[in-house]
């Protein structure tokens, strides 16, 4: 099993509340993936294009996101997210409009999405807030 250590970035919101994220690249877009241990599945911005994926569409399923009800959410499996020089499979990700999240962070931060429990648990993630590191174990 391989280990990767990724620095955590403390991103301030417009209300000055901290959000922890990691720098990443999906397709040809660089930005940040916010750590969201309250999300059961990863969420990726619908503005990201040109990434390696296997598409799955969920029908007859309701997904609750930020107290809004969203139906027929597109779900993809992203295989080539880059953290530094390492490519890691993100697994399943809901694809939604993240303008509501982008609007609360300073404009110089591009939010690619949210890293949810499906990814964090599969990668046996350790989040160390003291050292500001995300440690992942992957094959």
- The strand pair at 42-45 and 91-96 is best described as parallel
- Identify whether the C-beta of residue 18 lies closer than 8 Å to the C-beta of residue 10: yes
Select the CATH number that applies to the domain covering 9-119 from these four: 3.60.21.10, 3.40.718.10, 2.40.70.10, 1.10.1040.10. 2.40.70.10
Residue 66 has pLDDT above 80, yes or no: no
Domain boundaries, the chain: 9-119
Taking only the tens place, the pLDDT of each residue in 87-117 is 898 988 989 899 989 999 988 899 999 999 9
Taking only the tens place, the pLDDT of each residue in 10-25 is 998 888 888 999 999 9
pLDDT given for residue 64 in this prediction:
63
Burial grade of 10 (CB within 10 A; 0-12, 13-18, 19 or more): exposed
Q: What is the mean pLDDT of residues 25-51?
A: 91
User: pLDDT class for 82, splitting at 50, 70, 90?
Assistant: very high
């Amino acid at each position: 099993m391989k280990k990767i250590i990724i620095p955590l970035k403390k991103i301030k919101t417009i209300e000055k509340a901290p959000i922890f994220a990691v720098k990443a690249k999906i397709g040809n877009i660089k930005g940040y993936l916010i750590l969201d241990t309250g999300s059961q599945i990863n969420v990726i911005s619908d503005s990201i294009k040109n990434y390696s994926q296997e598409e799955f569409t969920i029908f007859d399923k309701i997904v609750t996101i930020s107290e809004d009800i969203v139906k027929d959410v597109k779900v993809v499996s992203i295989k080539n997210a880059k953290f530094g020089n390492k490519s890691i499979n993100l697994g399943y990700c809901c694809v939604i409009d993240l303008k509501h999240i982008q609007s609360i962070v300073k404009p110089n931060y591009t939010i690619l999405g949210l890293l949810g429990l499906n990814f964090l648990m599969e990668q046996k993630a350790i989040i160390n807030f003291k050292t500001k590191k995300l440690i992942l174990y992957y094959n």
